[in-house]
């Protein structure tokens, strides 16, 4: 198969891509056009930019490409109840091999991991996609029921919510806050994203767990991290930063490693009594409490481990 340089690929075309670091090829479909297109390999759930792309003549071009607009689809396509459980006599060995709740403290290793944050986070995500049955049993042996795991992997309910009833109540409450906050701030097209380990079940913190696998499993005491997206946030920050303490947090906003900023108002009560009241109410209901941040970019390209909240 001949590689053609500077081709302007179109959405839906069949291609193959090469990861030069891992030295393998995968077949997939173009999900974002261009000379350096975004391609979703057949066994991946999302499209990425690749070092090498060339046409795949072995399969017909798709006429109905799937372009992911929002992170609302399943995290992993699997029927949890059909996954065999780990026999009791093998559970200790399984936990030792796959689950790691420690944090790196060695200065050299900490530096190496911090230099490779993007690669580590995507390596963990890809590992889950390729090893869903192992991952299901990691979650089981960390105390989660099959019902909770299925809801998480379907993208229906993060693991920090112990029941669907609680999550439905949370969504109703957040929906009410949204309409009030839009009036209070003048922000437009507001939406919410949940991030953190309870969304996908494992920690993305590169200093926690094994480096390239999903091994630091969440718990029901994990923080509930909510990101507010809206047009007008950046202007508000500039207007209030001399009056309110504003912290900045880097955030990965796309598969190619682009970064954006998220803001935190400290204390939240100085910015919005409405959000502070919501925060207090739900901190009392959820073991891990709630944290709000506010994204600079109104419509960011989210990494796959962050989820749009369906309200």
**pLDDT tens readout for residues 70-81:** 566 788 889 999
- Mean pLDDT confidence for 215-244: 93
- pLDDT at residue 181 tops 90: yes
pTM, rounded to two decimals: 0.74
Determine the pLDDT at residue 61: 38
Determine the pLDDT at residue 18: 77
Which region among 62-66, 212-216, 285-289, 296-300 has the lowest average model confidence (pLDDT)?
A: 62-66
Report the percent of the chain where pLDDT is more than 90.
63
In this structure, are residues 248 and 156 in contact, taking their beta carbons and an 8 Å threshold? no
**pLDDT tens readout for residues 36-90:** 888 877 767 667 788 788 876 544 333 322 223 456 678 888 999 999 999 999 9
Q: Which residue has the tokens 């403290």?
A: 105
First to last CA, the chain: 47
What is the CATH topology of the domain spanning 1-68? SH3 type barrels. (2.30.30)
Q: Domain residues of the chain, as ranges?
A: 1-68, 80-308
Average pLDDT for the chain: 86
Determine the pLDDT at residue 128: 96
- Give the C-alpha separation, 110 to 207, whole Å: 7
Tokens of residue 231, six digits:
């047009």
Tokens of residue 141, six digits:
């042996």
- Give the C-alpha separation, 123 to 112, whole Å: 15
- Give the C-alpha separation, 211 to 113, whole Å: 8
- Give the C-alpha separation, 56 to 12, whole Å: 12
- Mean pLDDT confidence for 184-209: 94
**pLDDT tens readout for residues 101-115:** 999 999 999 999 999
Sorting pLDDT into bands at 50, 70 and 90, what band is 170? Answer: very high
- Give the C-alpha separation, 115 to 118, whole Å: 9
Q: Give the 3-state DSSP-derived string for the chain, with helices as H, strands as E and coil as C.
A: CCCCCCCCECCCCEEEEEECCCCEEEEEEEEECECCCEEEECCCCCCEECCEEEECCCCCCCCCCCCCCCCCCCCCCCCHHHCCCCCHHHHHHHHHHHCCCCECCCHHHHHHHHCCHHHHHHHHHHHHHHCHHHHHHHHHCCCCCHHHHHHHHCCCCCCCCCCHHHHHHHHHHHHHHHHHHHHHHCCEEEEEEEECHHHHCECCCCCECCCCCCCCECCCCCCEEEEEEEECHHHHHHHHCCCCEEEEEEEECCCCCCEEEEEEEECHHHCCHHHHHHHHHHHHHCCCCEEEEEECCCCCCCCCCCEECCC
């Amino acid at each position: 198969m001949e590689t053609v340089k500077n081709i302007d690929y179109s959405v839906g075309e069949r291609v193959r891509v090469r990861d030069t670091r891992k030295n393998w090829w995968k077949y997939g479909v173009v999900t974002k056009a261009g000379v350096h297109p975004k391609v979703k390999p057949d066994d991946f759930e999302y499209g990425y930019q690749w070092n090498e792309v060339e046409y795949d003549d072995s399969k017909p071009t798709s006429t109905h490409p799937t372009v992911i607009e929002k992170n609302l689809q399943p995290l992993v396509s699997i029927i949890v109840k059909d996954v065999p459980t780990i026999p009791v006599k093998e559970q200790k060995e399984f936990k030792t091999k796959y689950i790691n709740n420690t944090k790196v403290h060695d200065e050299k290793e900490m530096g190496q991991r911090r230099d490779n944050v993007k690669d580590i986070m995507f390596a963990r995500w890809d590992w889950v996609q390729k090893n869903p049955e192992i991952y299901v049993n990691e979650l089981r042996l960390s105390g989660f029921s099959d019902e909770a795991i299925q809801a998480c992997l379907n993208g229906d309910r993060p693991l920090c919510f112990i029941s669907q009833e609680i999550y439905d109540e949370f969504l109703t409450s957040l929906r009410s806050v949204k309409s009030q906050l839009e009036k209070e701030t003048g922000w437009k097209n507001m939406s919410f994203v949940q991030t953190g380990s309870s969304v996908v079940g494992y920690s993305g913190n590169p200093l926690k767990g094994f480096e390239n696998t999903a091994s630091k499993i969440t718990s029901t005491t994990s923080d509930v991290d909510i990101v507010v997206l809206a047009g007008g946030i950046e202007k508000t920050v500039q207007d209030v930063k001399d009056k309110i303490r504003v912290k900045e947090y880097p955030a990965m906003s796309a598969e190619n490693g682009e970064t954006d900023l998220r803001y935190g108002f400290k204390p939240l009560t100085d910015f919005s009594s409405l959000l502070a009241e919501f925060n207090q109410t739900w901190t009392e209901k959820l073991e891990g409490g709630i944290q709000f941040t506010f994204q600079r970019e109104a419509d960011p390209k989210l990494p796959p481990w962050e989820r749009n909240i369906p309200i």
